[in-house]
Amino acid sequence: MDQLLTPLYLDSYKKLKNLKSKLGILTILVKRDYAMQYAGAALGSLWFLIQGVLIFFLYIYISDGLSVFRGYSSTKNVEFILSGVLFWIPIQEMINKSTTVLTENRAIIKRSGVGMNIFYLIPISQMMIHFSILSIPAIIYLILINNISIFSLLIFPWILLSSLFLYPFTRYISMANVLLKDISPIVRLFLQFGFWSLPILYHPPIQYQSILIYHPLLPFLEIFRSVLLSNYIPDINYYILIIYTFISICFYFITRLSFDKIVPDHL
Amino acid sequence: MISVENISKNYIGFSNLFERVCSVLSLGLFKGTSKYLALNKLNFNAETGQIIGVIGRNGAGKSTLLRLLSGVSKVDSGKISISGVIRPMLELGVGFNPELTGIENVRFNGLLWGYSSNEIQNLEKEIFQFAGLAGLENQILKNYSTGMTMRLGFSLATANRPDILLIDEALAVGDASFQVKCLDRFKKFIEQGSIIIVVSHDLQMMSAICQKIMLLEKGNLEYFGNPTLALRKYFEILGKSEEYNNFFENMLLYYNVKLFDELNNNRNIFFLNQTVKLEIKFKFKTEIPRLTVGFQIDDNRGIRVFGINSYILDKELYNVKSNWEYSIVFSFPLNFREGKYSMGISFHKGDSHIEGCYLWKDSILDFEIERIELPKFDGLVYLPTTCEWKNQE
């Protein structure tokens, strides 16, 4: 029995050690990416915080003003926009970053033997950091107006799950951008479409809701809002969520089988 | 240990933009139609404590081999088995950012070379000392010279011993004294049981440090073994290279090479500093407008110790007649260190075989040099040296 258990134990230990080392490399790659982005800037990485928070509040301020003009209650509207923007900004940054993550690091990938897979996780890690920072003022505001759900901390695993749902696509656009430089502008265009097609800044008109239900990110946004806000009832078609999740998983395996084999040779 | 069994690598590319678009839209199921066989059924083994050189012309598959061994690329067929920590040094300073300081670059890139955070912390001081950059840790990298960056890259990549080190054209960097430090570090790794695989065009250095050399040509393994033989075969390939010339070997009817001492005795053992005559007789089948005859001498490690030709000596021969026997005699002192040497000859146009080669043969004549009545000395060549003391009160 001992003879059987020892190698298994050793194998698990080796895997854990390997995972720890991979996490270490990922941490350093993320740090390095920030350091490179803000090298030479007097405020350094603080810029990322300032930029994020300013954009966040700018969206809320303008949209809230417009919505009040259209007759919605200001407080209810701020909660709605705040939760939508809090969901969207990090996701948008993650998709944008994914587009260039391989091309920006091509020298390291080609020369160091670190491998490509770890680079796909940089945008997700950065997204989680951005999200954590942005969520602090949002949560404080919701506590102040007494409209925060008791499950609000579940937004962290939920946003991670949302990013994992998108992972096969972000991975695909990272690789596709190696082969075709058109991917970057196309993705930016799609992000604009994604932003305006989701009910982030506005309450969708009734005639639009029957189409909106097929938006792949809508279930994620709706669940996010319901987890964060105390009295928000999500409008979700769970069948659609299951179908999209299945498509996402299939997409992942197809790209792994085919794209993974050809892209490294084109880096 | 490294075991490579029957590996092949095909690079599949796109011949036009449409194929690229198709590949992206089909999620990579369409792979492109342009194919290039970079490595073809390669087999070799490497044991611990060996430096293995990889030589070959551009496009021979050298860098592809290192990319496959390092895991950057995947093989199409065959199997690579590697035991131990592998560190690819495919480009020095890769990942360094000019806007970050030296120490930041070391910290950020150390993990990419397989070091743990603790290791990097402990090695920081030593890395900068070895690179000769102590005191410059907090300088921004763009203020470093190219040489300084390369030295830092080398020092970081070799700060501790990997089981397998893969080096692509970065065998020795910096000035002469730093190169000696680099080579000493490699020797230490080898003594401790590492395997080093080196790709380089510096043939002299390769033959001096490698236990085995692998010669690749158009993705095929032409030779793997003794460095001297590998270099000879490489020179033959270079001589026959279509890139350089059309090879006209069949135009030569015959040739004959002999070495004589001062008394015209044909010998193959000579004394150091003795003047010898090299006689090359030949006959061409067809008329040749311009002819240069040259010879080259390699030592037992394959290092070229000397080479010259009639063009350089301003004795180019014009209008060589068919079926006429010609001979050329070179006289020179054998001022090389005692040992075994081999001589090769070449017939070509102009300054070098690149302009058109009729014959290139390495090692067609072996000879030996012995040292008698001459002082012991260090190095490859003997320079007749005198010295005298002077005193002054």
What is the value of ipTM here, to two decimals? 0.79
Chosen from B19, B36, B108 to mutate, greatest number of chain A CBs within 10 A: B108
Evaluate whether residue B232 is within a structural domain.
no
In Å, how far are A136, B35, B66, B68 from A265, measured between CA atoms? 43, 12, 14, 11
Evaluate whether residue B220 is within a structural domain.
yes
Q: Is A42 exposed, middle or buried (0-12, 13-18, 19+ CB in 10 A)?
A: exposed
pLDDT for res A3 = 44
- Which of B197, B225, B253 corresponds to the end of one domain? B225
Chain A contacts in chain B segment 5-34 (CB below 8 A): 11-14, 20-21, 23-24, 26-29, 31-32
CB contact under 8 A, B112 and A25: yes
- Is residue B48 located within the same domain as residue B171? yes
Using DSSP's 3-state secondary structure scheme, residue B159 falls into coil
Q: Which residue has the tokens 């996701």?
A: A91
Q: Which residue has the tokens 């105390």?
A: A230
Which of B23, B87, B104 shows the shortest C-beta gap to A262?
A: B23
For residue B55, count other CB atoms closer than 10 A to its CB. 28
pLDDT for res B245 = 44
pLDDT for res A2 = 43
Q: State how far the Cα of A262 lies from the Cα of A245, in Å rounded to an integer.
A: 26
Which of A31, A108, A255 shows the shortest C-beta gap to B28?
A: A255
Please give the mean pLDDT across all residues of chain A. 84
pLDDT for res A1 = 41
CB contact under 8 A, A110 and B24: no
pLDDT for res B292 = 93
Q: State how far the Cα of B157 lies from the Cα of B148, in Å rounded to an integer.
A: 14
**Which residues pair with residue B339 across a beta bridge?**
B369
Chain A contacts in chain B segment 71-100 (CB below 8 A): 71-74, 86-88, 90-91, 94-95, 97, 99-100
- Is residue B160 located within the same domain as residue B17? yes
Q: Is B274 exposed, middle or buried (0-12, 13-18, 19+ CB in 10 A)?
A: middle
- Is residue B189 located within the same domain as residue B83? yes
Short-list A128, A132, A137, A127, CA closest to A56: A137
Using DSSP's 3-state secondary structure scheme, residue B302 falls into coil
Short-list B292, B259, B264, B279, CA closest to B365: B259
- Is residue B216 located within the same domain as residue B257? no
User: For the domain that residue B289 is a member of, what is the CATH number?
Assistant: 2.70.50.60
Say which residues have a Cβ less than 8 Å from residue A79's Cβ, sequence separation at least 6.
A142, A145, A147, A229, A232
- Is residue B47 located within the same domain as residue B181? yes
Between chain A and chain B, how many beta carbons pairs sit less than 8 Å apart? 101
- Is residue B220 located within the same domain as residue B353? no
Using DSSP's 3-state secondary structure scheme, residue B254 falls into strand
Q: Nearest residue on chain A to B32, judged by CA atoms? A: A262
- Is residue B191 located within the same domain as residue B129? yes
Short-list A196, A202, A224, CA closest to A68: A202
Using DSSP's 3-state secondary structure scheme, residue B244 falls into coil
Chosen from A262, A263, A267 to mutate, greatest number of chain B CBs within 10 A: A262
Range of the domain at B259: 244-370
- Is residue B221 located within the same domain as residue B250? no
First to last CA, chain A: 48
Residue A134 CA, chain-centre distance (Å), reads: 13
What are the two backbone dihedrals, phi and then psi, of residue B193, each rounded to the nearest 5 degrees?
105, 15
In Å, how far are A32, A91, A267, B243 from A177, measured between CA atoms? 22, 19, 10, 36
Evaluate whether residue B318 is within a structural domain.
yes
Q: Is B115 exposed, middle or buried (0-12, 13-18, 19+ CB in 10 A)?
A: buried
Residues of chain B with pLDDT under 70: 92-94, 170-174, 176, 239-249, 354-355
CB contact under 8 A, B12 and A265: yes
Average pLDDT over residues A221-245: 89
- Is residue B43 located within the same domain as residue B149? yes
For residue B363, count other CB atoms closer than 10 A to its CB. 18
CB contact under 8 A, A112 and B112: yes
pLDDT tens figures, A36-92: 777 777 777 778 778 777 877 787 777 767 665 566 555 667 888 889 989 999 999
Largest CA distance in chain A: 74
Token pair belonging to B272: 């150091």
pTM of the model: 0.71
Cβ contacts of B112 on chain A, cutoff 8 Å: 25, 28-29, 108, 112, 114
Pairing mode of beta strands B34-46, B2-13? antiparallel
User: For the domain that residue B131 is a member of, what is the CATH number?
Assistant: 3.40.50.300
Q: What's the domain count of chain B?
A: 2
Token pair belonging to A28: 């350093």
- Is residue B75 located within the same domain as residue B170? yes
Using DSSP's 3-state secondary structure scheme, residue A170 falls into helix
Q: Which residue has the tokens 């040509």?
A: B217
Using DSSP's 3-state secondary structure scheme, residue B72 falls into coil
CB contact under 8 A, A263 and B73: no
- Is residue B315 located within the same domain as residue B221? no
Token pair belonging to A131: 């999200």
- Is residue B22 located within the same domain as residue B136? yes
Q: What is the DSSP string of B193-212?
A: T-EEEEE-S-HHHHHHH-SE
Which of B29, B108, B117 shows the shortest C-beta gap to A32?
A: B108
Short-list B202, B129, B126, CA closest to B161: B126
Cβ contacts of A28 on chain B, cutoff 8 Å: 107-108, 110-112
C-beta of residue B378 within 8 angstroms of C-beta of residue B274: no
Q: Is A252 exposed, middle or buried (0-12, 13-18, 19+ CB in 10 A)?
A: middle
Evaluate whether residue B173 is within a structural domain.
yes
- Which of B198, B225, B252 corresponds to the end of one domain? B225
Evaluate whether residue B392 is within a structural domain.
no
User: Which has more pLDDT, B340 or A12?
Assistant: B340
pLDDT tens figures, A84-138: 989 999 999 999 999 999 998 887 887 776 778 899 999 999 999 989 988 888 8
Cβ contacts of A174 on chain B, cutoff 8 Å: none
